[in-house]
Amino acid sequence: MRGSKKVRNRFIDCCYSAFATSFRRRGQTPSPAMREANALMREQKWAEAAKAYEKITTTEPANGRAWYQLALARHSLGAYAQAVDAYLKVPALSTNPSIMYNLACSYARLKENNKAFEWLNKAIGAGFPNIDSLKTDPDLAGLREDARFKDVIDAGIKATTPCMVIPEHQQFNFWIGEWDVKNPQGQQAGTSSIQRIVDGCVILENWTGAGGGSGKSFNFYDAGKAGWRQVWVGSNGIVIDFDGQYADGAMRYKSASIGANGQKTLGRMTFFNLGPDKVRQLWEQSTDDGKTWAIALTESRPKRNKRRTQFQRIIMNTVAQALLIATVRSS
């Protein structure tokens, strides 16, 4: 459950909307009594809403929506044991992670930590998405010193953002950063901004050529294929789909494309990890089914403006210290 009344009310509205949508899909509409009770919930009249839902559950014991709203109202009143009783009567409890999570919150308020952790784990296993709420929800304050709480958080992060923790998804992280791109003669060939997006599931390349032209590529680990993929789209309309593997400190992509003239071209593109501040890219092509290979592109990629960035940090630290001294002296 949420702490502030404003946030809690939005949460209740959201829960009500979800149940209302479910009812509409089944061709049902709330009864006048349900509409009146729901209005009381939205107005945060918890005691009156609880009494209204209690009447409904007495005459309609199979009304899962009424049981859930009753549980929310009781929790908001601090009647946590009675809230637990209502949650356990919601038919959707076995499949709805939000209901599981709120039941865990009521157990936590009752200091029944074993039950609270049981239902938190069930909520995460069922797909509860908002793991950050576990770190701030006041209902769970009594659990955070328990060693099991970190395990719950870790399980939630792995379940909701697996690309941030699964080792295979980290293999191409050495490419992330802002890069100058040099040809073999040391001349500027372009710049490349490599970013991790979609909760770490995609490494996005933003390429700008020194002589014009640009392009982007999506790079991602495909667990189904147990390998990497890159989809490149250039401003010249060229699209190339690569498959790859990471091995021996390098990302090795392969491609096969058909040109406008019908010519089949095989490609090998390798990114060598040369340390924290340098990457070498080698692109080779073959037009005879791999019998011979020609270098289409070879580039080194030093991190852009590393010295300037360090200098800027020194300046910023100096300015910050000067402002702090001036503030202390004027106080």
The model's pLDDT over 105-121, given as tens digits with 9 standing for 90+, comes to: 999 999 999 999 999 99
pLDDT band at 272 (very low <50, low <70, confident <90, very high): very high
Q: What's the whole-number mean pLDDT along residues 51-62?
A: 96
pLDDT band at 1 (very low <50, low <70, confident <90, very high): low
- Helix 147-160 crosses helix 113-125 at what angle (to 10 degrees)? 10
Q: Give the whole-angstrom CA distance, residue 145 versus residue 231.
A: 45
- The DSSP H or E segment spanning 312 is helix 306-330
Q: What's the whole-number mean pLDDT along residues 241-253?
A: 97
Residues 6+ apart with CB under 8 A from 102: 1, 71, 72, 75, 87
**Structure tokens belonging to residue 268:** 């090998």
Q: Is the pLDDT of residue 195 over 80?
A: yes
Q: Reduced to 3 states, what is the DSSP secondary structure of residue 231?
A: strand
Query: Cβ distance 131 to 153 under 8 Å?
Result: yes
Q: What is the pLDDT of residue 305?
A: 60
Q: What is the pLDDT of residue 319?
A: 44
Give 221 or 10, the one with higher predicted confidence.
221
Q: Is the pLDDT of residue 142 over 60?
A: yes
Q: What is the pLDDT of residue 312?
A: 43
Q: What is the pLDDT of residue 28?
A: 66
